[in-house]
């Protein structure tokens, strides 16, 4: 078989037929390493079983509606757009220790609960007995016997692919893509050329065999760009499991999804026996008892297509500091600073002389501005030391103190009504923030 030399940059993965002293892509010096490729082998996955291409009228192309496998988690399925598409490659990323291995093991246990379904979990990070110990936390051993789950502890990707091609499982989990290494490729495991090679090999395997593959990708020290994001164009979906380490809430978010809506989220909590899905998110992120406490207001935010009630808490206390403190959790700090300036100017409350703490309950992160009004009302309520009662608020706030339109108002209102909120303050009823203040019980 003919082989030829190729060169790859160890930093950015740029590949070329000739050697460069300085990488033309990332401009780093002396980063090129040489490797040999056998012409046929390199292309064997992508182009084997070549079929002549032909035109096909869009109307006549057949789609199969059964081409998804359920993960056994409603929350996970929704994020994927209704389950795992056969032959798709899904990258699951997130901080170390956040629960990636745990959630995928649970998924593996769910999927492998039928004799006709075989799941292969390839672990390059932990030994098989470590994985077994984790499984024992998640499920009792009697139930495990019925699961068709197989663990392989390996890092050699060429060996792994050989086993996968022979076994043809229903689902494959690779934990993690950073530990997979090909001896035919330069660079240490986790280096960009190795990660790229591993990903493209798994993509070819998945497409050729119509077997879905999950890849775990850690966020590296340099940030997400250096690791998993580099691969996002190669895979079908990029999911991110996020949450504060100290809180038990975990949010599964899609950043890219070729087979569904990339704005959907799944909500879980990390318990002793693994991750538990939260289907009724509103009651989890809101505590009705706090209605009687100053500084609490309910926002109705959209997470994907779902409205969700979230409690925003504020604590405003006189400050002795020349630069009063602003401590914000679960919402952009810059956004809160802007809202404080609006309160100062348009509601004439001297928050510039107060320390302000703002927190979103339950470790939830609010990413949209529809919660602006709730944040302002929570701050005003704490400042005045008067509770708001059963009040929910939905509106963006502009620099002029004006209440601005937000999307999906009807969906948000009906969620609020479902939870017994009669008093929902919105941009429909008020033009400016200072007009809202007389209507709240302070």
Report the interface residues with Mg ion, using CB under 5 A.
101
Q: Of 124 and 294, which CB lies nearer to ligand TYD in the complex structure?
A: 124
Q: Residue 78: phi, psi to the nearest 5?
A: -65, -40
Q: Of 217 and 260, which CB lies nearer to ligand TYD in the complex structure?
A: 217
Rg, the chain, Cα only: 26
Q: Which of 211, 125, 123, 121 is nearest to 165 (CA)?
A: 211
Contact 372, 406 (CB under 8 A): no
Pairing between β-strand 68-69 and β-strand 84-85 as defined by DSSP bridges: antiparallel
Least distance to Mg ion from the beta carbon of 179, Å? Answer: 10
DSSP alpha helices (H): ranges in 36-127? Answer: 39-47, 74-80, 100-111
Q: Is residue 274 near ligand TYD by the rule CB under 6 A?
A: yes
Least distance to ligand TYD from the beta carbon of 94, Å? Answer: 6
Q: Of 101 and 110, which CB lies nearer to Mg ion in the complex structure?
A: 101
Q: Is residue 256 near ligand TYD by the rule CB under 6 A?
A: no
Work out what residue 353 binds among ligand TYD, Mg ion, none; the CB cut-off runs from 5 to 8 Å by kind.
none
Residues in CB range of 316: below 8 A, 6 or more apart = 295, 351, 354, 355, 356, 357, 379, 382, 383
Q: Of 214 and 383, which CB lies nearer to Mg ion in the complex structure?
A: 214
| Residue among 88, 93, 102, 382 that touches ligand TYD (CB under 6 A) | 102
Q: Is residue 100 near ligand TYD by the rule CB under 6 A?
A: yes
Stretch that binds ligand TYD, among 97-105, 256-264, 288-296, 328-336 (CB under 6 A): 97-105
Q: Of 144 and 315, which CB lies nearer to ligand TYD in the complex structure?
A: 144
First to last CA, the chain: 82
Taking residues 140 to 179 in sequence order and writing x for each that binds ligand TYD by CB under 6 A, - otherwise, the string is ----------------------------------------
3-state SS class at 393? strand
Q: Is residue 134 near ligand TYD by the rule CB under 6 A?
A: yes
Least distance to ligand TYD from the beta carbon of 195, Å? Answer: 17
Q: Which of 202, 203, 179 is nearest to 191 (CA)?
A: 179
Q: Of 231 and 376, which CB lies nearer to ligand TYD in the complex structure?
A: 231
For residue 148 the two structure tokens come to 């068709």
What residues form DSSP beta bridges with 269? Answer: 249, 276
CA distances to 16, 65, 250 from 76, in Å: 39, 19, 12
Work out what residue 420 binds among Mg ion, ligand TYD, none; the CB cut-off runs from 5 to 8 Å by kind.
none
Q: Of 8 and 98, which CB lies nearer to Mg ion in the complex structure?
A: 98
Does an H or E element contain 281, and which?
helix 281-284
Q: Provide the sign of the torsion angle of the four alpha carbons 10, 28, 92, 84, taken in this order.
A: negative
Work out what residue 94 binds among Mg ion, ligand TYD, none; the CB cut-off runs from 5 to 8 Å by kind.
ligand TYD
Q: Of 179 and 382, which CB lies nearer to ligand TYD in the complex structure?
A: 179
Q: Is residue 258 near ligand TYD by the rule CB under 6 A?
A: no
Q: Is residue 247 near ligand TYD by the rule CB under 6 A?
A: no
Pairing between β-strand 119-123 and β-strand 171-175 as defined by DSSP bridges: parallel
C-alpha–C-alpha distance, residues 415 and 391, integer Å: 13
Q: Is residue 101 near ligand TYD by the rule CB under 6 A?
A: yes
Least distance to ligand TYD from the beta carbon of 117, Å? Answer: 22
Q: Is residue 249 near ligand TYD by the rule CB under 6 A?
A: no
Residues in CB range of 263: below 8 A, 6 or more apart = 254, 304, 305
Least distance to ligand TYD from the beta carbon of 104, Å? Answer: 8
CB closest to Mg ion, residue no: 101
Least distance to ligand TYD from the beta carbon of 220, Å? Answer: 13
Work out what residue 96 binds among ligand TYD, Mg ion, none; the CB cut-off runs from 5 to 8 Å by kind.
ligand TYD
Residue carrying structure tokens 């291409």: 53
Stretch that binds ligand TYD, among 20-28, 64-72, 131-139, 147-155 (CB under 6 A): 131-139
C-alpha–C-alpha distance, residues 321 and 336, integer Å: 19
Q: Which positions from 340 through 359 interact with ligand TYD, judged by CB under 6 A?
A: none
Contact 211, 172 (CB under 8 A): yes
Q: Of 270 and 374, which CB lies nearer to ligand TYD in the complex structure?
A: 270
CA distances to 94, 172, 349 from 365, in Å: 15, 31, 27
Other beta carbons within 10 angstroms of residue 365's beta carbon come to 19
Q: Residue 404: phi, psi to the nearest 5?
A: -115, 155
Least distance to ligand TYD from the beta carbon of 106, Å? Answer: 9
Q: Is residue 99 near ligand TYD by the rule CB under 6 A?
A: yes
**Interface positions with ligand TYD (CB under 6 A):** 94, 96-102, 134, 137-138, 270, 272-274
């Amino acid at each position: 078989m003919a082989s030829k030399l190729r060169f790859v940059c160890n930093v950015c993965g740029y590949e070329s037929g000739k050697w460069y002293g300085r990488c033309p892509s990332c401009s780093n010096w002396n980063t090129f390493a040489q490797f040999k490729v056998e012409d046929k082998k390199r292309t064997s996955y992508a182009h084997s079983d070549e079929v002549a291409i032909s035109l096909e009228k869009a109307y006549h192309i057949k789609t199969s509606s059964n081409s998804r496998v359920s993960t056994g988690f409603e929350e996970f399925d929704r994020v994927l757009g209704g389950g795992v598409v056969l032959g798709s490659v899904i990258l699951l990323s997130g901080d170390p220790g956040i629960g990636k291995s745990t959630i995928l093991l649970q998924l593996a246990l769910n999927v492998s609960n039928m004799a006709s379904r075989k799941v292969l979990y390839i672990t390059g990070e932990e030994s098989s007995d470590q994985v077994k110990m984790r499984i024992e936390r998640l499920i009792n051993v009697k139930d495990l016997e019925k699961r068709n789950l197989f663990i392989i502890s390996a890092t050699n990707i060429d060996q792994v692919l050989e086993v996968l091609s022979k076994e043809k499982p229903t689902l494959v989990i690779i934990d993690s893509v950073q530990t997979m290494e090909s001896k035919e490729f330069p660079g240490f495991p986790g280096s960009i050329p190795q990660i790229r090679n591993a990903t493209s090999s798994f993509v070819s395997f998945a497409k050729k065999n119509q077997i879905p593959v999950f890849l775990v990708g850690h966020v590296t020290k340099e940030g997400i760009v250096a690791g998993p994001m580099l691969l996002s164009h190669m895979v079908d979906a990029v999911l991110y499991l996020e949450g504060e380490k100290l809180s038990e809430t975990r949010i599964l978010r899609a950043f890219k999804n070729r087979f569904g809506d990339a704005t959907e989220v799944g909500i879980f909590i990390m318990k002793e026996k693994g991750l538990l899905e939260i289907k009724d998110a509103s009651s989890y992120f809101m505590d009705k008892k706090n209605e009687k406490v100053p500084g609490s207001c309910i926002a109705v935010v959209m997470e994907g297509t779902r409205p969700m009630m979230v409690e925003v808490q504020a604590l405003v206390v006189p400050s002795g500091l020349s630069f009063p403190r602003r401590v914000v959790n679960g919402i952009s700090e810059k956004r809160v600073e802007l809202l404080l300036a609006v309160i100062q100017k348009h509601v004439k409350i001297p928050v510039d002389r107060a320390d302000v703490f703002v927190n979103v309950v339950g470790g939830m992160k609010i990413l949209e501005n529809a919660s602006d009004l709730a944040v302002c009302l929570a701050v005003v309520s704490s400042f005045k030391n008067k509770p708001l009662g059963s009040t929910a608020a939905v509106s963006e706030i502009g620099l002029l103190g004006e209440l601005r339109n937000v999307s999906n108002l009807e969906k948000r209102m009906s969620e609020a009504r479902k939870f017994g909120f009669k008093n929902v303050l919105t941009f429909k009823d008020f033009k400016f923030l200072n007009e809202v203040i007389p209507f709240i019980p302070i």
